[in-house]
Structure 1
């Protein structure tokens, strides 16, 4: 890692964005803390609203620049970092960040439809990347992201942070080692949409606020009139930008399912499902859903979304008992009795990747060049499972998936949904 050169960073910042002035000595001491300059990974955060703020706070000592198409988000992020006496460069276009040699890595927390372009462009510019989950909007983006990471020898972490939770690792090791016998089936419970909680009621189309560059927010997505209930957090419930709670929480719990079943480099063979949608068409993604993913070894994963579905998290039903895991809780039953100390259960010889902190794992891997716990390939495969569930729901047909060729077999219409046309001049490369 090259040593921080504040003078050159100031020049780059002045050329590409707005720099909030601070004496160099104060800036350096605040940013570097106890680390030596040559050992500090200098990060630019792209997308700093909602989850982006949380990601930024998690690595605040490493942040040297922030970027957002919403001036309000940008100002709030800069103000938040000021609390620790850190002044950063601010940008409204991520491409300007990529020109700076004094930025080592990019943390992308944009809406899903921007993930692929920011990640691929950052890799090509020699930056390592942390990309929020779900990694992609459509399946073909994921393979392009993997290629960009490998071709440019970049470290790309997917933000499915449950992989760094001890309860999830313990659960997956128990399953991998058949500690309770072979898995018979898996039940996954995803929450329903919270669009109504956030938006309250529909609003008419109108004009974007002056603080928001709406055309740039849309980017590769189709051109549509501005509507306050489609942007920022609420983007998640419209197909142009995301895949609803299926991709939002599925990128966590279906990811854990893949990890436990040893399917990080593969996926299910068939997918089928049904769903219900908002009767008033306030939003597009499902209100409730039921899906079944069948794997080559015969294991079936029953995934529900919304009211009346499975308990939240992931439950593995095994020959000798059950293993249920969700954030902060691991419950194991064996021969009908609850195990009081599930973390003390011997898991077996197969041990999984250990990470105690998802963001720190990424920073450590940038220095060591070791693949992170949720590498881009893993993120791509887990996002693919989520997308396949949505495709089965939207077509109303059973889908046959060839994981090696990464294509849907025997259904041209369904296969066409694996990709998406970008609005010009944006293009997936």
Structure 2
């Protein structure tokens, strides 16, 4: 139930704006229980061009939620989304560019955010400090330390904070993970996450005009306020380090989370090494489009993650088994489990014969809403702690990669030979090299970068070596857009 003073605040605001209430009977049929106006959760969605548009669609059609704010640094995008929400729910939400106006409004109950990555942590922390419950898209953070600050804020302010890794609510994924962890394919000491997703060049690096409808200062937020260097303003920030994390931190967190979940890992790794490059074209991007990361955990298990942004075939654990491009493969002593989508997967024996299929979807937003009402973060399918751990693995791989040096294939083989791992790293390297050659990449002219193996304290969540990796666990923040340090959220 919403407190009466919060109800009155919104009612007064709506009346002043001349917005009339719409009877519940006229609302579009939607998920969620029937709720009166006084019981609806008032929602604000921040960052609405891409995934945030889906957030708006879900929240506007539910009977127990109402979108009262749309927030985006791009006014053209924001006003367009307000039009869509008004048509869906019968009331027009208020548009603001500055999210702090949302947090100052006591009428807002929940905040969902799908901003660019560099804004995720601060958006969530500010919202929780203001007493809001939060749904935050992956990656929940832009660097390792930010995720832990989000967990601290959620616990300190007793807020519900859901990570947008919707696989955690999908029946097919849940069944597959339970199958893996039950021992039905024997002992599992290796999981492989895959992000084989074609990504084209984003165009030449240069100096470009920011769209006039964008408040670039607010859009940049915690990042430095620097000239725009990519042709397309929206979305392609994913491939620039100041704002994005490459595909290992974009699509990757979904599969990274499934792999970690299936292995039963509840801390960070103790070692990680990464190699790859931005290969096949030269453009304004500076994140890897080809990347391999090898993680070792204290219990002796290994997680491998592969990113391929050029044309490629799917990967199979056995010629007769299903393969995946965007998915996860678990390798057991008695068989394999292959997750081929968020909602589907299958188990195979060592000869590639089908054992069982897993299918079924779910409703991640419904899970979030129910946890908001129960006030129990344990009810969440993807509590912020889970999101932090999985996304931090992506960030650690990037730390290694960013510190790398270009090497020949022979030198890469030499370094991989010395790894103590459940993986067959030379076979993986050979597959990567073959893939690149098929795409016309000459590794003698444009060699890969090979990063140092990082030593990580999984309990303290710090890098212990090499020393030059430590600063990359955080960033220099531009005031006033500063993520608080440890213990100060």
TM-score (norm 2): 0.79
**Cα distance in structure 2, aligned partners of 1:176 and 1:296:** 18
**Cα distance in structure 1, aligned partners of 2:472 and 2:294:** 19
Residue 282 of structure 1 is matched in structure 2 by: 284
**Cα distance in structure 1, aligned partners of 2:369 and 2:235:** 27
**When the two structures are aligned, how many residues end up with a matched partner?**
412
Note if 1:324 corresponds to 2:338.
yes
Shift of 1:24: 2.5
Shift of 1:261: 1.4
Note if 1:64 corresponds to 2:79.
no
- Residue deviations 1:26-46, cap 9 Å, x none? 599649983123432211001
Q: Secondary structure at the match of 2:41?
A: coil
Q: Please list, as runs of the form range in 1=range in 2, the aligned pairs for 1:17-416 lying within 5 A after superposition.
A: 21-25=18-22, 30=27, 34-60=34-60, 61=62, 62=65, 63-84=67-88, 85-192=90-197, 194-196=199-201, 199=202, 201-202=203-204, 204-227=206-229, 229=231, 231-263=233-265, 265-278=266-279, 279-306=281-308, 307=310, 310=315, 311-312=324-325, 313-327=327-341, 328-339=343-354, 341-343=356-358, 356-371=362-377, 372-395=380-403, 396-416=451-471
RMSD: 2.5
Q: Tell me if structure 1 keeps the 8 A contact 2:191–2:263.
A: no
Distance 1:37 1:22, change over 3 A: closer
- Residue deviations 1:67-118, cap 9 Å, x none? 1110111112112112222321111111101121211010011001111111
Distance 1:272 1:368, change over 3 A: same
Distance 1:338 1:58, change over 3 A: farther
**Cα distance in structure 1, aligned partners of 2:14 and 2:205:** 38
My pick for the range that moved more, 79-88 or 211-220, is: 79-88
Q: Tell me if structure 2 keeps the 8 A contact 1:188–1:254.
A: yes
Residue 349 of structure 1 is matched in structure 2 by: none
Structure 1 runs not aligned, ≥5 long: 345-353
Residue 441 of structure 2 is matched in structure 1 by: none
**Cα distance in structure 2, aligned partners of 1:2 and 1:32:** 23
Note if 1:421 corresponds to 2:470.
no
My pick for the range that moved more, 130-139 or 201-210, is: 201-210
Stretches of 4+ aligned residues off by more than 3 angstroms: 3-7, 10-15, 25-33, 227-231, 307-311
Shift of 1:174: 1.1
Q: Tell me if structure 1 keeps the 8 A contact 2:204–2:282.
A: no
Q: Secondary structure at the match of 2:238?
A: helix
Distance 1:9 1:297, change over 3 A: same
Shift of 1:329: 2.5
Q: Secondary structure at the match of 1:115?
A: helix
Q: Tell me if structure 2 keeps the 8 A contact 1:258–1:267.
A: no
Q: Tell me if structure 2 keeps the 8 A contact 1:188–1:304.
A: yes
TM-score (norm 1): 0.89
Q: Tell me if structure 2 keeps the 8 A contact 1:183–1:319.
A: yes
My pick for the range that moved more, 275-284 or 139-148, is: 275-284
Residue 420 of structure 2 is matched in structure 1 by: none
Shift of 1:157: 0.3
Q: Secondary structure at the match of 1:377?
A: helix
**Cα distance in structure 2, aligned partners of 1:217 and 1:408:** 30
Residue 437 of structure 2 is matched in structure 1 by: none
Q: Tell me if structure 2 keeps the 8 A contact 1:70–1:213.
A: yes
**Cα distance in structure 2, aligned partners of 1:99 and 1:355:** 36
Larger Rg: 2
